[in-house]
């Protein structure tokens, strides 16, 4: 189970290579800190975590997403990663991500191998999100919460890690132009914070390729 990372040249990645790259230093200033206008948010933001679930399909690695139900008060109908706000009893961001994922789509925590985390991502809606990357072995069972989740689907990780699919769009909101990333896939429009975190994942995984290699004497 491998996937292609496109960065000047194609690099084949498996789960162990993903773990190695996530453990390495990240892209620093090249990372997206959050939605434009929300970068650098501090203590006033609500802490939250999402799980970026990489499904280990035999053919290739896939990323799992949810589509939120249309009747929700916020972010209705949007595509997102499973997750939610931290609770006082959660000892770590990983605990929050696993707990919220189980509540939202019924994925048992013992089906997830944690690979690492990305830097926090701040949103204009007042959240500071920690993205947690995990590998999900097949088979697994899902029980989506019908009150929150309309659909669960997968996208090839190689598609998400191809920078040609990373689009920049803008919308006028409350009289201001807002810029954001979007990664359309078939009938799915992945955008906003979800797309921003995927761009961060791409940049982190590419960091070793872009970093100067030590000379060998």
Q: Domain residue spans in the chain?
A: 3-208
Confidence (pTM): 0.88
Query: What CATH number does domain 3-208 carry, 1.10.3720.10, 3.90.79.10, 3.20.20.70, 3.30.390.10?
Result: 3.90.79.10
* pLDDT, position 216: 38
How confident is the chain (217 residues) per 10-residue block, as mean pLDDT? Answer: 65 90 83 68 82 96 92 64 96 98 97 96 90 96 93 96 91 70 96 95 82 44
Length of the chain in terms of residues written: 217
* pLDDT, position 171: 73
* pLDDT, position 73: 52
* pLDDT, position 34: 76
* pLDDT, position 158: 93
């Amino acid at each position: 189970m491998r996937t292609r990372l496109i960065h000047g040249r194609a690099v084949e990645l498996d789960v162990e290579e993903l773990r190695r790259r996530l453990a390495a230093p990240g892209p620093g200033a090249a990372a997206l800190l959050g939605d434009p206008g929300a970068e650098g948010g501090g203590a006033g933001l609500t802490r939250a975590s999402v799980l970026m679930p990489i499904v280990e399909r035999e053919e290739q690695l896939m990323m799992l997403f949810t589509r939120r139900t249309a009747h929700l008060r916020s972010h209705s109908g949007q595509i997102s990663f499973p997750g939610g706000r931290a609770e006082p009893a959660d000892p770590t961001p990983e605990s929050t991500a696993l707990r919220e994922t189980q509540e939202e789509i019924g994925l048992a925590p013992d089906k997830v191998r944690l690979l690492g985390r990305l830097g926090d991502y701040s949103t204009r809606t007042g959240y500071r999100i920690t993205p947690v990357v995990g590998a999900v072995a097949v088979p697994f069972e899902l029980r989506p919460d019908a009150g929150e989740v309309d659909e669960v689907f997968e996208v090839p990780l190689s598609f998400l890690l191809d920078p040609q699919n990373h689009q920049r769009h803008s919308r006028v909101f409350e009289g201001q132009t807002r810029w954001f990333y979007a990664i359309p896939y078939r009938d799915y429009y992945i955008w906003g914070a979800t797309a921003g975190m995927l761009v961060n994942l791409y940049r982190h995984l590419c960091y070793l390729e872009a970093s100067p290699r030590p000379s060998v004497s």
